Every structure is written in C-alpha cells, then in structure tokens.
A = this chain, B = another copy of it.
Amino acid sequence: MKKLSLSLYLLIFAFIFPINAQTDKETINSIFENAVTDYTAYEQLRYLCKNIGPRLTGSPQAAAAVEYFFQELQNMGFDTVYLQETTVPNWIRGEKEVARIISSQFGTTEMHAAALGLSVETGIKGISAEIIEVKSFEELAKLGEKNVKGKIVFFNRPAFTTHYQTGAAYGGAVEQRTWGAVEAAKHGAIATIVRSVGTGKDFYPHTGVMRYKEGIPKIPAIAISTNDADILSQQLKAEPGLKVYIRTTCKQRADVKSYNVIAEIQGSENPNNYITVGGHLDSWDLGEGAHDDGTGVVQSIEVLRLFKELKIKPKNTIRAVLFMDEEIMQRGGASYAEQAKRNNEKHLFAIESDGGGTLPLGFSIDASDQILSKIQSWQDFFIPWGIYSIRKGGSGVDVDPLKGYSIALGGLIVNSQGYFDLHHAPNDVFEMVNQREMQLGAAGMAALIYLIDKNGLE
C-alpha cells in the first residue's frame, strides 16, 4: 500500500492534532470574540430590567427574578440547575417619601428623597423639626446633646472624588449613611438626612442600607440628592434654625424564604471541586438594578454559556451563582458558604462581578502572594482585551464568606468613573449598559476561570 487514502490521512491528522488542541491564546481570544458578538446576556439583562424591574430583597419582583433565571438556565441546558434556600429580610419602602424645606426666606422647597433601607418610618404624619448640619461624627459629638436633641441631623460630607477609583470616594462617605442614625440618636436627634453617597451633581437620591444598634433609639433616616443637599446647606447658612419636614412610611416585615439560583457545568476530572462566578439577583428599588447588579448576574451566566458554546470541557465544576440579598443582609452569600462547607466541597476560586457592567480593567485577587504571582503570569493573555491590572485586593460581599475556605477569591475590576453616579439611584437603568463592555467583563472572568481550571492555583 503505497498511498494512504484521504480519510486515513485525516484520521492520523486528527489523532496527532486533536480538534481542541487550540493554544490557550486562541481559546482565550475565541472567548472574547464570541462574547462581544453575542447578545444572549444583554437580552436577559433587558428582560430583568424592563419586564421584572427593581427587585428588593424579599419582594415579589425578587421572587420573579428567581423564577425567570431558574427557567432560563434550564433552557440553556446546563448540567445542573437548582435553587438554594435562604431567608431574607423584607423591608418595604411604602409611599413616595416627602422631604421639604420650610424656609421663611426661600419658601418651600421639595427635595428628592428616599428612605434608607431598614429605616423605620416617620409615620404618615411625618416629622417637622429644626435641622443641624454636620460633616463628620466628630463634629456631631462636639455639638453634643444640647445642640442636637430634638433636631434632625443633616450629614453633608461629600464623597471626595480626587481618587481615580471612585470606590474610595464612596468608602470615605458611606459611614454617614450606614451609621449616621445611630450616631445622631446617641445625642438625642429625632431623624437624619444624609447627602446621597454618590459622585454626581444631580437630583437623584441614592438609597442604600443603614443599621441600628441595640440600646440606641431607632430614628428614621433618608437620603436626599447631592443637589438638594447643596440647596439645603445654602438655605441653612442663610437661615439658621431652618426647619425640614420629612415623611416616610417604610416598614420592616417578617423575614421571608428566598433563593440563590445556581447552574453548573460539571467538571470532567474533579466534579467535586468548584470554581464559582457570581453576581447578585436582588437590587435596590429606585432604578432597575441594571449595573447593580443585573450585569453581574447575566455575566455569570455568560461565563457558563461561553464554556458550553465553545465546547470547553472544564476539569472542575464551574458554577454560576445568582446570589440573593446582597444589598441588605447578605444572606445569600452566607448561605452559599455554609452549604459549601457543610457538603465538604473543595473550592478553588470564587469571583464576583458587582462593580457595574462597565469596561473591565483588571482583577482583584484575594490570595497568597504565590497564587497572585501565578495569576499575574497570565497577564499577557488579557492585555489585548484591555485587562491590564491583576492586583492584590478584596473580592466581593457575596463570595467573601468563602474566605479561608476557597483557595482564592477574586473580583472583577471595571471602569468605576460613572458607577457612583447611578449606584442605588433611579438612573441605574438598562440603557446605561453597553453590551460590549459588559460582555468583555464576562469574557475576562471566563478566560481567568479557564486558566485556573486548566492549570490549578497551587
């Protein structure tokens, strides 16, 4: 036999060069290229934002989001799709809030306001009282009970925006929202108004969670927009003793049952080893929860879609987890970690996308220096796709309970410049999301998971 038949040639060729013997570079490029041209996740996000809408933890909309994605993930044909029970708070906003400056000099000014999550209500009659402005808890403490008692404390320290990462601006101001009511109540205040913790100059109020402390009276807390905060501050300067009227009817109801939604592609070699990618399904209720965190949800699903579509067979099980209740009590994240430990699952890596679906710029890695170095050694795969910074740092609220249990944790770092203009605010809507930017983020996480799955971390 002097001549091999064509089919025999092909057979030998296929044996020597198996079909999936792509280089890592080719695989990673195909992940990005497939992602930016695909609209599955973007259309899921549209449905979530426009057909389900805002989905406060414990609300019917949050339950609808669970149901929608449970069906959607089954339709997409992943190996396993299931719900993981958790118990979540059920705080209800009630009627549209009223916040009104009553000035003898400037007349009446209606402000754009929103009750903070977990706040008690003023009740239907509202509260009218003198306002006192402070920029810090120290300033408040110096004023003391004699200046504060019976008044409404107005926390007006702006987010300092000089840092490149706007998260730093947020982090520097958010204590006023979270702990302002506790600090004010210590000195006898009857309510608090906080300047919205955001980077924009506009009329959008930004809500967010606040906390009470046992033994300290629970007083109502609202946020007003940054522009309204400036107006209130100006009027107060011109007219000390100025009064403000606020009215909220928010209520805390009994906890309800809810779920994380989980889908898996089973690992071919180590099905009981897990790599998790997640975002949170619940959102605040003023906008549509598009960037916070609809994008993280659909990106997590997109990671699985990319593996399936590109026929990448992972060694370890890849899980997309749509966490419930990130915004209020973080019960979904806690339940997920508890369950993992109870089942003795081995967790290699868990990454979260909860900084908005904007242009991805890097990964924040919470792991030993050795593991960080290994991940950084893959940097060159990512640079052509704009992901240039792999650095040590935190992960995210929902995967953090796995800390010390998972070998490494991670967070997707994205363009944060506009995020705190819309964070927890009415303008966090679908239209603010760019399909390509969101998909690049999903592809970045898929590529990182591909490399970790293939090479391990240790």
Contacts and interface: CB of A to CB of B under 8 A. Distances in A.
Interface of A: 32-33, 36-37, 39, 161-162, 164, 166, 199, 201, 359, 361, 384-386, 388-389, 415, 417-418, 421, 434, 436-437, 440
A32 B417 CA distance: 13
Contact of A359 (B39, B201, B359, B421): B359
A430 to B, nearest CB: 13
A440 B437 CA distance: 19
A255 to B, nearest CB: 39
A418 B434 CA distance: 6
Contacts of A166: 436
Nearest to A427: B431
Residue from the set A161, A389, A436 with the largest chain B CB neighbour count within 10 Å: A436
B199 A436 contact: yes
Contacts of A32: 164
B359 A415 contact: yes
Contacts of A162: 33, 36-37
A373 B106 CA distance: 60
Contacts of A201: 39
Contact of A434 (B164, B361, B385, B417): B417
A199 B161 CA distance: 32
A417 B388 contact: no
A199 B439 CA distance: 14
8 contacts: A36-B161, A164-B384, A166-B436, A361-B386, A388-B388, A388-B389, A415-B437, A418-B437
A162 B421 CA distance: 30
